């Protein structure tokens, strides 16, 4: 389907992939030896743990808290043991724990029984997730031809899940293919997942399993009405990456923001914690056939899009590598990039098109996620609206997979309903009017766009070589990404990382490794 416009040197692309593999090596080594509180909580959730105590502490957190150091053996063992010992259902056990039961000190039953129960519970969760996968692919097949290309991705962010539902349904009717419920500011720093339906968030709505369920239902409804499968997105990133992935898998989310380094760089979460967490979260997403979205756009909100374009490309390679290492196929890799070029820049459109086309040619199977202008958006909503149009144009002309629609009020407030409508109108006009433009043009040999892409690829390789020499951990400390330095042992959540004991037990992890062919 795709022929090259950029005339990129294939061997250089290969070289970049090789470097990423080498970079990921030591990190994977570390990952394989560690677990985290979030991984354990996610595991518990997939086994059935849920609910909150009177003081709103989630059951998975209560278990982890009571375990202390013992989590090195895997929380699953304790939870399953308690189920057997108390001879109760997960539901009943959850209530007991919520009421104060400490399961860390219950005597262990026969490991065989535990293995058996584990298998039963894992199968149960796996079945539910597989049904979700089957349902989704059925619906997508059924409604395929009504989808936009690229898929139109719209955010809702009222802070109140019930308002979000209204906005999301309206957006779907206006033509959205994907709805992302933005999370409330600050949630990524919480080391637990809030519980239940919520109505109070700032700049976004809490990610909770109940909120997922409510929105899923609302989108299925409006999807049936409009004859389309509306995809639902939320955010894994933060201190609860694997936990949110687990909840998403259970509630049939379709996409998850899930970057291998975002939390480190942009939320000051400890790097070891993030690397360990992201692996398991991505395994869950892979199993649940959930597309991940990486966060390369964020680099450009602080750094210059022209100067630092190569950091985006490098991060895409790294994200790809870690994704493969977690069992994610290319078709689930919504690698990110963004139209953050300075609108004042002469030929900015060409540089941006070169960059977008380059991502397309380097990652031909990935449903690239293209982010709209944000940094240079101002209160001049009119100017902003045409910047969004140029962005939509490039998205279409370089065959991006997922188009996060820009809002004309980006610099002002989280979207009003009308802002979203105008964004869809903008995109639909451009996408339709320029439909086959991409197929109808070629880039001039050694022209501005070709040269630019080749330069960025060269810079990327140089950069990856540099990282490979220093090692990824030190590179981050040395401010090589996003112009920010994160100390290896600093940031949030490092105390949640534990070396696994030799007899660490995690039936979910094991199951997924098998299913995903990672072992």
Partner 1 sequence: MEGQNMMIRPYGDTMNDGAIQLSFTLPVPHSAKADEAARQYAKKLGFNEVEVVHSNPLSDKFTFFVIYGKTTQQLDYDKVEVEAIEKTMDYYEVNNYIEENIKRKIVVVGACTGTDAHTVGIDAIMNMKGFDQHYGLERYPMIEAINMGAQITNEELIERAVELNADAILVSQVVTQKEVHIQNMTDLIELMEAEGVRSKMLVVAGGPRISNKLALELGYDAGFGRGTFPENVASFVVEKMVEKKAVSS
Ligand X SMILES: Cc1ncc(COP(=O)(O)O)c(C=O)c1O
Tell me the DSSP string of 327-358. Answer: T--GGGEE-EEE----TTSTTHHHHHHHHHHH
Query: Binding of a copy of itself at residue 112 (CB under 8 A)?
Result: no
Q: From the list partner 1, ligand B12, ligand X, none, which binds 257 (C-beta under 5 to 8 Å, kind-based)?
A: ligand X
Nearer to ligand B12, 183 or 231 (CB): 183
The answer to whether residues 392 and 370 touch, using CB atoms and an 8 Å cutoff, is: no
262 is known as an active-site residue: yes
Whether 429 sits among the annotated catalytic residues: the reply is: no
Binding of a copy of itself at residue 149 (CB under 8 A)?
no
State both tokens at 43.
Answer: 């595991």
* Contact pattern for a copy of itself over residues 307 through 346, marking x by CB under 8 A: ------------------------------------xxxx
Residues that bind partner 1 in the complex, under the rule CB under 8 A: 157-160, 163, 166-167, 169-170, 173-174, 185-186, 189, 202-203, 266-268, 301-302, 378-382, 409, 411-418, 421
Q: Which residues contact 144 (CB under 8 A, 6 or more apart)?
A: none
Out of 182, 246, 453, 512, which residue is the one contacting ligand B12 (CB under 6 A)? 182
Q: In degrees, to the nearest 5, what angle opens at C-alpha 148 toward C-alphas 142 and 149?
A: 110
Q: Is 385 in the site for a copy of itself (CB under 8 A)?
A: yes
Of 42, 506, 52, 60, the residue nearest 248 (C-alpha): 42
Decide if residue 436 touches a copy of itself (CB under 8 A): yes
Q: How far is the CB of 195 from ligand X (least distance, A)?
A: 18
Q: CA 39, CA 34: separation in Å to the nearest integer? A: 10
Of 5, 77, 117, 369, which residue is the catalytic one? 369
For 223-227, which contacts have Cβ atoms below 8 Å and span 24 or more sequence positions? 223/139, 223/143, 223/172, 225/173, 226/146, 226/172, 226/173, 227/143, 227/146
| 497-499 and 34-36 beta bridge pairing | antiparallel
Tokens of 341: 């070029």
Which of a copy of itself, ligand X, ligand B12, none binds 518 (CB below 5-8 Å, type-dependent)?
Answer: none
**171 is a contact residue toward a copy of itself (CB under 8 A):** no
Of 121, 203, 189, nearest to 155 by C-alpha is: 203
The only residue of 411, 448, 516, 518 in contact with ligand B12, by rule CB under 6 A: 411
Q: Per rule CB under 8 A, is residue 347 in the interface with a copy of itself?
A: yes
Binding site for a copy of itself (CB under 8 A): 343-350, 380, 382-383, 385-387, 389-390, 393, 408, 422, 425-426, 429-430, 432-437, 439-444, 447-449
**Contact residues: ligand B12, CB under 6 A:** 157, 182-183, 185-186, 203-204, 266, 298, 301-302, 374-375, 377, 410-414
């Amino acid at each position: 389907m795709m022929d090259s416009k950029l005339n990129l040197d294939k061997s250089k692309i290969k070289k970049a992939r090789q470097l990423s593999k080498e970079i990921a090596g030591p990190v994977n080594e570390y990952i394989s030896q560690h677990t985290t509180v979030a991984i354990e909580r996610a595991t518990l959730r997939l086994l059935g743990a849920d609910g909150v105590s009177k003081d709103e502490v989630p059951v998975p957190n209560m278990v982890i808290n009571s375990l202390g150091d013992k989590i090195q053996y895997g929380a699953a063992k304790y939870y399953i043991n308690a189920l057997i010992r108390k001879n109760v259902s997960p539901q009943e056990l959850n209530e007991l724990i919520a009421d104060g039961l400490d399961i860390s000190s219950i005597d262990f039953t026969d490991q065989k029984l535990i293995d058996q129960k584990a298998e039963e519970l894992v199968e149960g969760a796996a079945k539910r997730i597989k049904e979700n996968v089957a349902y989704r692919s059925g619906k997508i097949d059924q409604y395929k031809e009504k989808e936009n290309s690229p898929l139109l991705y719209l955010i809702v962010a009222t802070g109140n899940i019930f308002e979000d539902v209204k906005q999301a349904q309206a957006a779907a009717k206006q033509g959205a293919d994907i709805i992302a419920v933005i999370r409330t500011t600050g949630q990524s720093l919480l080391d637990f997942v809030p519980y239940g339906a919520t109505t109070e968030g700032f700049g976004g709505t809490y990610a909770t399993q109940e909120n997922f369920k409510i929105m899923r239902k609302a989108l299925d409804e409006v999807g049936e009405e409009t004859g389309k499968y509306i995809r639902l997105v939320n955010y894994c990133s933060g201190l609860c990456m694997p936990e949110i992935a687990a909840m998403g898998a259970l509630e049939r989310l379709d996409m998850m923001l899930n970057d291998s380094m975002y939390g480190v760089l942009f939320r000051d979460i400890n790097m070891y914690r993030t690397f360990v967490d992201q692996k398991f979260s991505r395994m869950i997403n892979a199993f649940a056939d959930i597309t991940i979205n990486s966060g390369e756009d964020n680099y450009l909100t602080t750094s210059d899009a022209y100067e630092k374009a190569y950091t985006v490309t490098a991060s895409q390679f790294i994200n790809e590598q870690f994704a493969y290492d977690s069992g994610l196929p290319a078709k689930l890799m919504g690698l990110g990039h963004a139209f953050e070029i300075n609108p004042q820049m002469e030929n900015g459109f060409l540089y941006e098109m070169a960059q977008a086309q380059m991502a397309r040619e380097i990652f031909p199977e990935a449903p690239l996620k293209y982010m709209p202008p944000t940094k240079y958006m101002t209160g001049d909503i009119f100017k902003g609206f045409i910047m969004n149009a140029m962005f939509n144009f490039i998205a279409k002309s370089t065959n991006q997979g997922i188009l996060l629609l820009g809002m004309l009020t980006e610099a002002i407030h989280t979207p009003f309903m009308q802002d979203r409508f105008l964004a869809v109108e903008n995109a639909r006009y451009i996408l339709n009017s320029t439909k086959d433009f991409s197929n109808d043009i070629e880039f001039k040999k050694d022209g501005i766009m070709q040269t630019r892409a080749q330069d960025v690829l060269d810079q990327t390789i140089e950069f990856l070589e540099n990282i490979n020499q220093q090692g990824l951990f030190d590179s981050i400390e040395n401010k090589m990404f996003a112009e920010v330095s994160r100390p290896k042992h600093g940031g949030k959540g490092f105390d949640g990382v534990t070396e696994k004991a030799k007899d660490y037990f995690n039936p979910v992890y094991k199951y997924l490794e098998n299913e995903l062919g990672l072992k």
